[in-house]
Structure 1
Amino acid sequence: MHFDLADIRVFIHVAESSSVTQGARRANLSPAATSARIKALENQLGARLLYRDSRGVTLTPAGEKLLTHARVILRQVDYVKSEFAEYGSGFFGHVRIFANTTAVTEHLPEVLAQFLATRPAVTVDLQERLSREIVRGVLDGSADIGLIAGPVEAQGLEVIHHSTDRLLLALPEGHKLAAKPSVTLAETLDYPHITYREGSTLFDLVASHVENLGRTLPMRIQLASYEAICRMIESGVGIGIIPESAAVRHRKTMRLVTVPLEEPWAIRERSLLVRELDGMPGCVRDLMETLRSG
């Protein structure tokens, strides 16, 4: 069985865009040529890869399986290119990272800045994703490295402890809860909350535990950065649950009080996820080492 890498790339474009026309545009081919390449793959595999209807295309079970393998195959090809390019141009390569909200906004920017400053030929694609998407992305090869907080169930991946963070309740000075040594989630629900935007890992975590209490999260406003959340809290608009790493930074410039959140899920272990680290290109291995030591 012989696979043409060009056919595999075309298949990925179509699968990711859920459209033959859009996939053809991304591949710089006509829709007819794109359909012919997909048909050739189906004939070689002896399996239907796509369901077609008026809204576009969706993957069959065989198509889902091929997409996972196809991503891994093409990333391995990219790895080989990167490894051999390093012989001619020194540090070279591209790394894609999927990480949770806190890592993307608070931790990784500083680490990546130091790493990239000495590697001008390395590029990084950093994407904020939910925990399940991070695990799936590393498993299916669409990400090289994952950084996740909380328990990890990821067979087939190397899981490396990175750091420990905890969630705190941030309050304006003089708030009724500010003098307490610690607070439970239930105690915070009598006050308006300033939250990270809906769909973020932190929002989903807090919302799920509020739901388990049979309560509703009293949201006052949702924002897209911890700095903005802390500004609102400082002004007395509400209170908010934020990571300790963000609280430490913003307490230096804002009048904030933080109180430990007395919940078992408030202490979160951060883990690095990677698939077969020894088989990764040098730039990925170097970045993993930087992350592990940082």
Structure 2
Amino acid sequence: MHFDLVDLRLFIQIAESPSMTQGARKAFMSPAAASARIKNLEESLASRLLYRDSRGVELTPAGQLFLQHARVIMRQVDYMKNEFTEYGAEASGHIRIFANTTAATEFLPEILAGFLAQRPGVTVDLQERLSRDIVRGVMDGSTDIGIIAGPIKADGLQVIHFSTDQLIVITPLEHPLAQRKKIKLTETLSYPHIGLHEGTTLLRFLNEQVALSGQTLNMRIQVYSFEAMCRMVEAGVGLAIIPESSARRHQQTMGLKIIELDEPWRVRERSILVRDLEALPAVIRALISIFLTHDSARERRS
């Protein structure tokens, strides 16, 4: 069995493109040369990797498995290159992060701003993803690290806990529920809700919990950030369910009432997912260390 790094990178580019021609173009190769390389690769592996037809290419089951391994190998090659740049091991490289809604919009921007300001040779690709896609991305090597909240089914991955938050209910100061200390999710459903936009992890999670009660969210409006949700609540548009850390911050400048959510799933453990911490380059390990120290410093301040 023989294949080189050019074959691996070419296969990844074809797998991520709608056609052999476009994948070959990304690899700066003619379609004929790319096709010949893929054919030799399939012969070497004794497995068909791609279905080809007039509409483009599609991965076979063997191709899906090979893509997973190819991504991991090429990412390790990129890690090795970055470790030996002129800037030094912790001062250069590219980091891809898949994160849930809270991480991507609330605390990651602050952490990454300081991290990148001190490392001009580092670039970051931050993508908001659903929990299942975060786990899958770390597993198949399409992302370096994942940031996730809540229970995790991630066999084969390392899970590094770094923060604990909880979901709470926020209402306007004059809302009928404003004097409550605790409240069940079902008790909020007769009132208009303000939610995040479709596709976010938190909205999906809340819809799943509401569905278990046989009801639906009384959604009045959906917005794109927790700050926008808080402003809508303050204006009396409705109530909302958001992480307590976000609610406490915005409560300092807005008229909001915070009510404890009396549900066993309200606590949200935040974790970092990686395939193998020791195999990651120094720059990514440095970022993970900042995650851990950032949370510890915040707890001391509070």
In the alignment, which residue of structure 2 is the partner of 1:134?
134
Equivalent position SS for 1:28: coil
With the length of structure 2 as denominator, give the TM-score of the two structures.
0.93
Identity %: 62
Aligned ranges 1:17-32 → 2 under 5 Å: 17-32=17-32
The structural deviation recorded for 1:153 is 1.5
Letter in 2 for 1:195: G
The structural deviation recorded for 1:16 is 1.6
Aligned ranges 1:174-193 → 2 under 5 Å: 174-193=174-193
The structural deviation recorded for 1:88 is 5.8
Q: Is contact 2:97–2:124 with CA below 8 Å preserved after alignment?
A: yes
In the alignment, which residue of structure 1 is the partner of 2:91?
91
Letter in 1 for 2:241: I
Deviations 1:165-217 (A, max 9, x none): 11111111100111101111101100111101111100000000111110011
In the alignment, which residue of structure 1 is the partner of 2:172?
172
Note closer, same or farther for the CA distance 1:139–1:255 as it changes in structure 2 (3 Å cut).
same
Letter in 2 for 1:186: T
Q: Which moved more, 1:29-38 or 1:185-194?
A: 29-38
Q: Is contact 1:50–1:58 with CA below 8 Å preserved after alignment?
A: yes
In the alignment, which residue of structure 2 is the partner of 1:68?
68
Equivalent position SS for 1:255: coil
Q: Matches of 1:111 and 1:140 in 2, distance apart?
A: 26
Q: Is contact 1:106–1:245 with CA below 8 Å preserved after alignment?
A: no
With the length of structure 1 as denominator, give the TM-score of the two structures.
0.96
Aligned ranges 1:18-167 → 2 under 5 Å: 18-85=18-85, 91-167=91-167
Q: Is contact 2:171–2:238 with CA below 8 Å preserved after alignment?
A: yes
Q: Is contact 2:98–2:128 with CA below 8 Å preserved after alignment?
A: yes
Q: Is contact 1:96–1:124 with CA below 8 Å preserved after alignment?
A: yes
> What are structure 2's unaligned runs of at least 5 residues?
295-302
The structural deviation recorded for 1:87 is 6.8
Q: Matches of 2:58 and 2:88 in 1, distance apart?
A: 42
The structural deviation recorded for 1:54 is 3.6
Deviations 1:42-78 (A, max 9, x none): 1111110112234322211100100000000000100
Equivalent position SS for 2:174: coil
> What are structure 1's unaligned runs of at least 5 residues?
none
Q: Matches of 1:167 and 1:196 in 2, distance apart?
A: 14
The structural deviation recorded for 1:7 is 1.5
Letter in 2 for 1:183: I
In the alignment, which residue of structure 1 is the partner of 2:298?
none
Q: Matches of 1:276 and 1:62 in 2, distance apart?
A: 24
Runs of 4+ in 1 over 4 A off after TM superposition: 86-90
Deviations 1:91-133 (A, max 9, x none): 1111111110000100111111111221111111111111111
Q: Is contact 2:83–2:89 with CA below 8 Å preserved after alignment?
A: no
Matched, 1:237 2:237: yes
In the alignment, which residue of structure 2 is the partner of 1:15?
15
Alignment length (residue pairs): 294
Note closer, same or farther for the CA distance 1:230–1:36 as it changes in structure 2 (3 Å cut).
same
Q: Matches of 2:87 and 2:242 in 1, distance apart?
A: 45
Note closer, same or farther for the CA distance 1:129–1:227 as it changes in structure 2 (3 Å cut).
same
Letter in 2 for 1:80: M
Q: Matches of 1:55 and 1:242 in 2, distance apart?
A: 44
The structural deviation recorded for 1:156 is 1.5
Q: Which moved more, 1:160-169 or 1:251-260?
A: 251-260
Equivalent position SS for 1:17: coil
Note closer, same or farther for the CA distance 1:89–1:217 as it changes in structure 2 (3 Å cut).
closer
Letter in 2 for 1:219: M
Deviations 1:219-275 (A, max 9, x none): 111111111111111111111111112112211221111111111111110011111
Q: Is contact 2:89–2:282 with CA below 8 Å preserved after alignment?
A: no
In the alignment, which residue of structure 2 is the partner of 1:4?
4
Deviations 1:131-187 (A, max 9, x none): 111111111111111111011111221111111011111111100111101111101
The structural deviation recorded for 1:32 is 2.5
